[in-house]
Amino acid sequence: MSSQRGAEKSDVSGEPMVVVVEDDTSLREALERLFRTIGLRTLAFGSAAELLENKLPDTPGCLVLDVRLPGLSGLDIQGELAKADIHTPIIFMTGHGDIPMSVRAMKAGAVDFLTKPFRDQDMLDAVVAAIERDRARRKEDIEVADLRTLFETLTAREREIMALVTTGLMNKQVAAEVGLSEITVKIHRGKVMRKMGARSLADLVRMAEALEMSPTKR
């Protein structure tokens, strides 16, 4: 799975792709044809082993997995991807679906669970929704990565000031907290705003939330 980590560099603009893992050749080919009807590229495998030997495409997309596969099951694949910190949305399909299995899949992060035979439109709807979800996640990953780059330019004191200011404390309260004069806090706060590219305190608060900051993480 280590080779798959490289595929997780976020790319938002790439052409979407659906990865299908289904051991039934006729169904696998039918799904490929179905996805092509709405202009989606597909990458299909007949087993979990085949999938895990390849890198997932670095583009928005989703996985369509049969729960019951030769060797590792679809749920096993889900677990392996989670261990590798790969977050591509998963849609499960099965002819043996039951409530415990679907609950386990959904709790582990699956976005949908379709029981065979399913309607083509239900599958298309699920795939389109999953791709949009992945596109949004990738966009958020890029934004957070950019914020972290800006955050790294802050000094330790500026990070401390940012953490406190974004909790709603006034400059005077922050000054008392860190043992500085109010004017010094204002200077640090101004530098933080400029370095982070924040246009307002509300902007800075949203940035702090995205970075999961808190006064205890100075």
The rounded radius of gyration (Å) of the Cα atoms in the chain is: 23
Closest-CA residue to 67 (of 42, 109, 95, 39): 95
Tell me the pLDDT of the chain (218 aa) as tens digits.
444 433 344 556 678 999 999 999 999 999 999 999 999 999 999 998 898 888 888 899 999 998 888 888 888 888 888 888 888 999 998 876 566 777 777 777 788 888 888 999 999 999 999 999 999 999 999 999 999 999 999 999 999 999 999 999 999 999 999 999 999 999 999 999 999 999 999 999 999 999 988 654 44
Cβ contact 17:41 at 8 Å: yes
Closest-CA residue to 91 (of 4, 20, 9, 15): 20
Which pTM value belongs to this model? 0.74
Q: Residue 95, SS3?
A: coil
